[in-house]
Copies of this chain bind each other. A is one copy, B any other.
């Protein structure tokens, strides 16, 4: 063993010789499997895992075997043999109860029942009188999930001396939504082209497709929607379906089903029918035939995601029918095959009194009208993925409907591809919000996991931030939000801190200072963005169309609700959207006591203040400051926090891979410049209404409002 250690030391030295060429490019994500750095832990692990075995021969088990081999050999730094018996013990035994006779000597019945079809059990125990670590499951995919979880224990340097883990997903469908266009661009994508190369499929299978599946399986994601919700009907042609089938074949061993966005007008554009009406029998037949064709190519096809009657997309309203009529049309087509339909609740008209109210107005009356294999997919907030929104009041409003969460991992409104924002905090904030639908404790999480209303078809979707950039997400910290989405979809009780801790250890280092410092950056990062972009409940004041940078002055759109001024309603009296009874009364869409709390100027949480209230500039805040001063201090605090993130990161130089460190240093530099831009532009703009000075002691903006208003970004990424 000593000999190996010496060799490893040399290995590291030699690897260091060509540092530049071998700097970490981030491609491996959180599955790096580098040598365990803590010598004591390394010794422990080597003692506990002298060999390993895995039963079964399916492609899923083959994938798990490969993962085990690469993972153990990498983490333990020498070849850990695959064995065929318990021998002297200290063996890792993986498999299903059915396939592995060795497991039958242990009573795993209760644990396995809890683990269900996708979960797993990890425990230390005796097998044939010898010490063993067991990764057991009811299914092969459960085994694969367990293998990834066991490797994570080593990656994060946990104690594995006394394991007793049962883990299973709380939500049934855990899905990544790709807003990828068929020409390779990605709507709201900030990490390069689409990872799907439709042109070279089905023949060319990129290594990245496999690594995509590995990464997702390692965090329990079990579905992927391949194309944008603004769906090109071409994806449903045979030529493309063959390509989709090739991807489904790559993902299948990893327990990941493929879904597609369907264009509601496909019967017209592809089928040459005169109508796409759900009442038209030819239309119903077209969808049924199309579903049959898809399932003949992809027997485990997941189903459809549909954006209908939204931002120019066709839908059932075109025929005077309801959203439920539309959803049920497609649901009928896929039901015989076990497929489902995810129907988006992001539907609005362009000139509403209050766009935030529209989803409830449209969908609440339809509760109970949706087919049993439909999920209504609802964005976390009532508007559109803002840095902060209260939860959508649809959660808690439709007990008879399968309600699915839609988060956005790509940061359209949170600094896009360059900012460092760990989104677990945002996801958790929504999931932990109490709807009070059935009294206290009726959290959004319980709506989504089905426990509140007894649903079993449950789902959660995250709009992907993945692109063809080598490190997948542009800024490597974007990986942490992808990771967090998967981990929370599996178990929403995990804390942001737990998830950050895991990700940092697997990505950068297990060094205590690195973990603590990066954790601080990550856990505070989302609030920092809110502070310099949208404090106190402000929202939707972004650059027009590209949503890049501040644009509180935007007032030229023919659609009133595409203007920033529609949302902030700044005037000489104050700022904010009155959603109380004197205004749009959106507060009434929430259950008591929330409705009253939000409606009260004094009780409303400060973070939602200007979301629900139009507040005078000189209003006296609880802090003692005027509203104007408080807004200013938030903007300035946001910038200061980014500078503090820079200080912390700078202190880690030499403790993190050189390339990863360099890249983040430059990204933080960009973020600092953008934070100052947001702060200055917004303070100067709102000052034209408040007519009040920026509080003394704060640095004055060095550019004029006219300068900021003149900035144009015709080539900002993600706008296709």
Contact = CB atoms under 8 A, between A and B. Distances in A.
B203 A659 contact: no
Contact of A66 (B20, B199, B418, B673): B20
A207 B17 contact: no
Interface stretch (A70-78, A252-260, A355-363, A611-619): A70-78
A208 to B, nearest CB: 8
Contacts of A78: 14
Interface in A696-720: 714-717
A27 B19 CA distance: 15
A311 interface: no
Contacts of A204: 418, 663, 666-667, 670
A668 to B, nearest CB: 10
A11 B10 CA distance: 8
A311 B183 CA distance: 23
Contact of A21 (B7, B74, B182, B717): B74
A10 B14 CA distance: 11
Given A20-B66, A74-B18, A669 B203 contact: yes
Contacts of A18: 33, 70, 73-74
A302 to B, nearest CB: 23
A28 interface: yes
Contact of A11 (B11, B21, B31): B11
A642 to B, nearest CB: 14
Contacts of A73: 17-18
Given A192-B193, A199-B716, A666-B204, A33 B14 contact: no
The copy count of this chain in the complex is 2
Interface in A44-78: 66, 69-70, 73-74, 77-78
Contacts of A662: 207
A240 to B, nearest CB: 9
A184 interface: yes
A469 interface: yes
A185 to B, nearest CB: 8
A373 B663 CA distance: 40
A671 to B, nearest CB: 10
A205 interface: yes
A160 interface: no
Contact of A715 (B14, B77, B198, B714): B198
Contacts of A14: 7-8, 11, 77-78
Interface in A379-425: 417-418
A200 interface: yes
Given A70-B17, A203-B673, A192 B7 contact: no
Contacts of A7: 7, 10-11, 14
B184 A715 contact: yes
A90 to B, nearest CB: 20
Contact of A183 (B33, B77, B715): B715
A30 to B, nearest CB: 13
A79 interface: yes
A158 interface: no
A225 to B, nearest CB: 18
Nearest to A714: B234
Interface string A70-95: 10011001110000000000000000
A207 B21 contact: no
Interface string A1-44: 00000011011001001111101010110010100000000000
A203 B662 CA distance: 12
Given A14-B11, A715-B182, A715-B198, A670 B203 contact: yes
Nearest to A207: B659
A470 interface: yes
Given A10-B7, A21-B28, A670 B200 contact: yes
Contacts of A33: 18, 21
Contact of A418 (B27, B185, B200, B417): B200
Contacts of A452: none
Nearest to A667: B204
Contacts of A20: 66, 70
A102 interface: no
A715 B79 CA distance: 46
Contacts of A199: 417, 715-717
A468 interface: yes
A563 to B, nearest CB: 25
Contacts of A667: 204
Contacts of A205: 666
Contacts of A714: 182-183, 234
B21 A70 contact: yes
Given A21-B70, A468-B469, A469-B468, A666 B715 contact: no
Given A18-B70, A21-B74, A200-B670, A717 B418 contact: no
A5 B641 CA distance: 51
**A20, A66, A204 interface centre (most CB from chain B within 10 Å):** A204
Given A468-B468, A469-B468, A659-B207, A17 B79 contact: yes
Contacts of A27: 25, 470
Contact of A184 (B28, B207, B717): B717
Nearest to A240: B715
Interface string A114-152: 000000000000000000000000000000000000000
A714 B198 CA distance: 11
Contacts of A469: 468
Contacts of A11: 7, 10-11, 14
A472 B193 CA distance: 14
A70 B468 CA distance: 28
Nearest to A69: B17
Contacts of A715: 182-184, 198-199, 234
Interface of A: 7-8, 10-11, 14, 17-21, 23, 25, 27-28, 31, 33, 66, 69-70, 73-74, 77-79, 182-185, 192-193, 198-200, 203-205, 207, 234, 417-418, 468-470, 659, 662-663, 666-667, 669-670, 673, 714-717
15 contacts: A7-B10, A11-B14, A17-B70, A21-B31, A21-B74, A25-B27, A25-B207, A182-B714, A183-B717, A192-B468, A203-B666, A203-B669, A204-B667, A204-B670, A207-B659
Given A10-B10, A182-B714, 6 more contacts: A18-B70, A25-B27, A184-B717, A204-B418, A204-B670, A207-B663
Top 9 A-B residue pairs of the complex, sorted by shortest distance between their CB atoms: A17-B73, A183-B715, A204-B666, A182-B715, A7-B10, A18-B74, A18-B70, A203-B670, A192-B193
